[in-house]
Homo-oligomer: A and B are copies of this chain.
Amino acid sequence: MVDIKDYMREKAALVDSRLERLLPSADKMPPSVHKAMRYSVFAGGKRLRPILSLTTGELLGKVDQNLLDIACALEMVHTYSLIHDDLPCMDDDDFRRGKPSLHKAYTEGIAVLAGDALHALAFEILAAKAPPILVVEVAQAIGSQGMIGGQVLDLESEGKEVTPQQVEYIHQHKTGFLIRTAVRAGAICREAGGEALGALTRYGERIGLAFQIIDDILDMEGSYKNLGKRTGADQARGKVTYPKVFGLEDSRELAEKLIQEAKGDLLSFGPDANILSQIAEFIVRRIE
Residues on A facing B (Cβ under 8 Å):
24, 28-30, 32-34, 37, 84, 87, 89-90, 107-117, 119-121, 123-124, 126-128, 132, 135-136, 139-140, 142-146, 148-149, 151-153, 155-156, 169
Q: A116-B148, A145-B29, A149-B29 are in contact. Are A136 and B124 (CB under 8 A)?
A: yes
Residues of B within 8 A of A144 (CB): 24, 28, 30, 33-34, 37, 114, 117, 120-121
B153 contacts A30, CB within 8 Å?
A: yes
Q: Which of A30, A136, A152 counts the most chain B CB atoms within 10 A? A: A30
Report A83 CB to chain B, min CB distance, Å.
10
Cα distance, A82 to B32, chains bound together (Å):
21
Report A140 CB to chain B, min CB distance, Å.
6
Residues of B within 8 A of A84 (CB): 112-113, 116
Cα distance, A132 to B135, chains bound together (Å):
10
Residues of B within 8 A of A148 (CB): 33, 113, 116-117, 120
Cα distance, A151 to B33, chains bound together (Å):
10
Q: A112-B87, A135-B135 are in contact. Are A127 and B127 (CB under 8 A)?
A: yes
Cα distance, A147 to B110, chains bound together (Å):
14
Cα distance, A30 to B153, chains bound together (Å):
7
Cα distance, A169 to B29, chains bound together (Å):
10
B127 contacts A135, CB within 8 Å?
A: yes
Residues of B within 8 A of A121 (CB): 139, 143-144
Residues of B within 8 A of A124 (CB): 136, 139-140, 143
B139 contacts A132, CB within 8 Å?
A: no
Q: Which of B112, B143, B145 has a CB less than 8 Å from the CB of A89?
A: B112
Residues of B within 8 A of A143 (CB): 117, 120-121, 124
A119 contacts B117, CB within 8 Å?
A: no
Q: Which of B29, B115, B135, B149 has a CB less than 8 Å from the CB of A123?
A: B135
